[in-house]
Structure 1
Amino acid sequence: MSEQNIFREVDEELRSDRMRALWRRFAPYVIGAAVGVVLVVAANEGWTWYHANNAAKSSDELYAAFELIDGGDLPAAQSQLDALIADGSGSYPVLAQFRKAGVLVKEGAIADAVAAYDALANTQSNPRLRELALVLGGTLMVDAGTLADVESRVGSIAVEGSPLRNAAREALGLAQYKAGDFAAAQASFEAVVNDPLAQSTVRNRMGYYLAQLLSQGAIAAEPATDAAEAAASAIDEIVSDEAPVAETPAADAPAATTEAQPAAQ
């Protein structure tokens, strides 16, 4: 038994020596890999914190610009937005560019605002932001430009499947109305009215446009136009119901009804 114990101890010593030799050989690589993992995790966490911190700062700067705009200090708001566009983080510089164009509209610099929207449309990789810039620029060009100016911006958006199709159709219809192309304007407005996804307020506005065309004799009465007139009349009735009613003695009401009957006949 003693010899077996001696051999066992020798064998264990040999295995231990081999393990120490292996560890001395590969320890630098193992430690280096572990340190590398720690550094990667730390760098990732630091980068995430850095961006989150910058995004929070950019958010505060954007809301500060909004407050300046609401307070009427447009030059200071422009400076704040310019700084955010230059040094902001995340998507806030793009939001600042949109807001800056809106400030230009408030200042009456329509040409500069349209140029800002066109620049956004030409630089945005996000198709939705690009379409939004085109629609906003096209809407401004209804008054500041020609029908061709509006069509070049919103023509490709005023189609089925586009989320901003009805805003584009409205701008296009107004430009067509301004250019005297009443049939095309009617088609644009009716496309919105017939869109099942159009909001009721938007449909009612199209109804007013169509009713205006009809009252001018620019278009002939058609079922879709009649529906638009009905929508406009319904809104007028709602407005009339909300208006204060003049106080009339109860005894006079039947007489007024009786006098109105011959006219109705």
Structure 2
Amino acid sequence: MALTPQNEETFFREVDEELRRDQLGSFWRRYGKLLVAGIVVALLLFAGYLFWQHRREQAAGVAGEQLSSALRDVSDNKPAAAAPVLAKLADSDVAGYRATARLTSAALALDKGDDKAAIAQYGAIAADDSLAQPFRDLALIRQTAVQYDTLPPAQIIARLKPLAVAGNPWFGSAGELVGLAYRKMGKNDLAGPLFAAMAKDKDVPETIRARAMRLAGLLGADTAGQAAGTAATGPVGE
């Protein structure tokens, strides 16, 4: 059954609300594993150098223990204990530690309701060319998600369109924001195919794929190639 204009607006409003919950929810629950993986990659990249620099290796080992302890404090809802350690590690010589500490500090600012500080911190990370690109891209997505209600749709698209492509590790998160921005601009001919591509991509998180499939269908885009197991019906938020 086709949705009436009023019901369609309600549906998109529910999607917007769920998007904000997903994008701005618990940082550790959503991104913890990815950040740990990023740390491992950073350590591997530095392994050869650290092998010849024993003193630096010792320092990195101490920093790694400190970061692990701080992240445990975050996951245990002890931000006050984690904050000073994260602030110290924000200047670490190891890029993976530095990026993770700064991203987590920004998330803690957001959890406290200090959007202004979080936006500034995410923006600084995104602009820091000493950090690996995946960390910078994540910071840009998080910054844009926090500013989602205040940015013109065209600016959201300009920021995130390069990330909203299949094969990019942040395709789902960036693509959802870009697709909704297209829809707000009345460009359903661009939003629909983007949501359909996300719905078909097995690498996109399942919750995002499910929403993308519903939105693509509502906008008349073909989702026939979606992977088995992705829900196509049911209320937003399931």
Larger-Rg structure: 1
Q: What's the CA shift for 1:98?
A: 1.2
Q: 1:197-252 CA distances to partner (integer Å, 9 max, x unpaired)?
A: 545443212123346xx3xxxx4x45449x89x9422x67xx8xxxxxxxxxxxxx
- Out of 148, 152, 158, the residue aligned to residue 158 of structure 2 is 152
Amino acid at match of 1:118: G
CA contact (8 A) 2:196 2:222 kept: no
- Out of 82, 96, 101, the residue aligned to residue 77 of structure 1 is 82
CA contact (8 A) 2:176 2:208 kept: no
Alignment-derived partner of residue 65 in structure 1: 70
Count how many residue pairs are aligned between Structure 1 and Structure 2: 185
Alignment-derived partner of residue 190 in structure 1: 196
Amino acid at match of 1:97: R
* Structure 1 residues 197 and 154: alpha-carbon distance in aligned structure 2, compared to 1, 3 A threshold: same
Alignment-derived partner of residue 213 in structure 2: 207
Q: What's the CA shift for 1:186?
A: 2.5
Alignment-derived partner of residue 243 in structure 1: none
Determine what percentage of the aligned residue pairs are the same residue: 26
Q: What's the CA shift for 1:171?
A: 1.6
* Structure 1 residues 176 and 74: alpha-carbon distance in aligned structure 2, compared to 1, 3 A threshold: farther
Alignment-derived partner of residue 56 in structure 1: 61
CA contact (8 A) 2:51 2:57 kept: no
* Structure 1 residues 91 and 186: alpha-carbon distance in aligned structure 2, compared to 1, 3 A threshold: same
Q: What's the CA shift for 1:190?
A: 1.8
Q: Which blocks of at least 5 consecutive residues in structure 1 are unaligned?
A: 1-43, 240-265
Q: CA RMSD in A?
A: 3.4
Q: Could you say which structure has the higher helix fraction?
A: 1
- Out of 99, 104, 111, the residue aligned to residue 106 of structure 1 is 111
Rounded Cα–Cα distance in structure 1 between residues aligned with 2:96 and 2:54: 16
- Out of 80, 97, 104, the residue aligned to residue 92 of structure 1 is 97
Q: Decide which moves more: 83-92 or 50-59.
A: 83-92
Rounded Cα–Cα distance in structure 2 between residues aligned with 1:69 and 1:130: 21
CA contact (8 A) 2:216 2:222 kept: no
Whose RCO is larger (CA < 8 A, sep 6+)? 2
Task: Return the TM-score normalized by structure 1.
Answer: 0.57
Task: Return the TM-score normalized by structure 2.
Answer: 0.62
Q: What's the CA shift for 1:124?
A: 2.7
CA contact (8 A) 1:139 1:150 kept: no
Q: Decide which moves more: 163-172 or 93-102.
A: 163-172
- Out of 143, 165, 168, the residue aligned to residue 162 of structure 1 is 168
